[in-house]
Amino acid sequence: MEFELKYTPAQEAFRQEVTAWLAANVPDGVAVRPRTFEESYALYLKKRALGRALGVKGWLYPSGEKEYGGGGLGLDQIVVLEEETARLGLGLPPYYDSGGKMGAASIRVWGTEDQKKRFLPPIYTGAVRSWQLLTEPTAGSDLAGIKMTAIRDGDVYVFNGQKIYIGSHHGADRYWTIAVTDPKGKRHQNVSWFMIDSATPGITTQPLYMLSAQSEGETDEFGHKNIIFFDNVRVPADCLVGGENNGWKVASTHLEVEHSGQGNIRTNPVWIALLAHCRTQMRDGRPIIEDPEAREKLAEIYSRLEAVRLLSTRNFWMVYAGEKRSYHGSQTSYLRKTTNLWLTKAIHDLLGPEALTSDALYGAMGGIAEMQQRRGIVEQHPGGTTDIQRVVIARRLGVGAREPQQAGRLGEEGMARKAAVEA
């Protein structure tokens, strides 16, 4: 069966336009792993500038509606953009923007017209970057168990509490967060979502360094998280998205996107680095790739990673086309996480001890092999652990339940596009 996408001459012409633009606008060194904080900060500034330039073209959030500053592009063009930026070791956006990705998707479904006009353009054009703030010290998998409160006081909500495992390095402009708005209310009927300005007085941030950060430069969304404290933070009431105490419905959209709805349709960058390494590095007098056992392992790695990529592409298409989803997001998230853990051992088997050090002289793939050993483990947790993905899959399939649970709403724009194509 042929799963790969085929491209028309018009789509290939768009690819030419994209590659030419990227060649002229992507600064040197954006794919190089930084080793110090200064290098990482310089890289972050370059990526933000690139994000704004992509925003001008409508290519930062190509699926966002044009009227709100997005690209309004079709699926085929989005795939081309994802593929061509991935070839340069970049994602879209080229920096960590979890609150932008999940917040924008949720606001598209649950926000008022005024909120769409206010919150979406700065995200889609790269003027702001945003983090998602969900987890608390006593509420991770059990998101409905959060304790941070946001209590209405006239025309503001007053926030008190803390969030943990948040964001990455170098700060964010906006926080997309969930809080308890009715402390006496029933579970699932007492929470609400807000898009808030991170500079609001009363917010403080404390860094949290993870197993996945070995050098100061690795302080990205896997390596450097934060604990964020809210101490009588007064947030304008019009930052509430989706209605007071209606937050569990908004959460179902947010989590559906997080489990696998947007992007991630590019080839795994670890695979690209691994293949290049095996083609160029010698073992027993020949390139590693000429060793039959290495080839067998590489073929297995490629097949597994490709299955993840194709499922991500399917999910992406389902969202875009307005197809009804069920277990699909969690299925892909589960497979991605377990495959990445398996990949750590596969790379170790293939390369031996050089996969275990990021030493400049002995570390394989410029340290990427060693980084994978740590990140494969850490990746089991964010965005719903592997256990939680299995729980969701079972519920959606109706295993052990009277009837299958529905997936969260993912927006009407897909339905509209589908209708337009069919008309």
Q: Which of 124, 131 has the CB closer to ligand FAD?
A: 131
**By C-alpha distance, which of 192, 134, 181 is closest to 158?**
181
C-alpha span between 143 and 160 (Å, rounded): 17
43 C-beta neighbours (distance < 10 Å), count: 22
Provide, rounded to whole angstroms, the least separation between the CB of residue 50 and ligand FAD: 22
Provide, rounded to whole angstroms, the least separation between the CB of residue 166 and ligand FAD: 5
Among 16, 25, 36, 141, binds ligand FAD (CB under 6 A): 141
- Interface segment toward ligand FAD; rule CB under 6 A; list 43-51, 70-78, 162-170, 272-280: 162-170
Q: Which of 77, 332 has the CB closer to ligand FAD?
A: 332
Point out the residue whose Cβ comes nearest to ligand FAD.
Answer: 140
Burial class of residue 126, CB neighbours in 10 A (0-12, 13-18, 19+): buried
Q: Is 165 in the site for ligand FAD (CB under 6 A)?
A: yes
Residues from 106 through 135 that contact ligand FAD (CB under 6 A): 132-135
Q: Which of 11, 385 has the CB closer to ligand FAD?
A: 385
C-alpha span between 403 and 397 (Å, rounded): 8
Beta bridge partners of 241: 193
Q: Is 392 in the site for ligand FAD (CB under 6 A)?
A: no
C-alpha span between 123 and 115 (Å, rounded): 12
Beta bridge partners of 322: none
Residues from 212 through 271 that contact ligand FAD (CB under 6 A): 222, 225
Q: Is 98 in the site for ligand FAD (CB under 6 A)?
A: yes
C-alpha span between 70 and 121 (Å, rounded): 7
Burial class of residue 186, CB neighbours in 10 A (0-12, 13-18, 19+): exposed
How many helices and strands in the chain, by DSSP H and E? 12, 10
Among 5, 151, 158, 378, binds ligand FAD (CB under 6 A): 378
Q: Is 385 in the site for ligand FAD (CB under 6 A)?
A: yes
Q: Is 394 in the site for ligand FAD (CB under 6 A)?
A: no
Chain positions contacting ligand FAD, by CB under 6 A: 98, 132-135, 140-141, 165-167, 210, 222, 225, 378, 381-382, 385, 387-388, 391
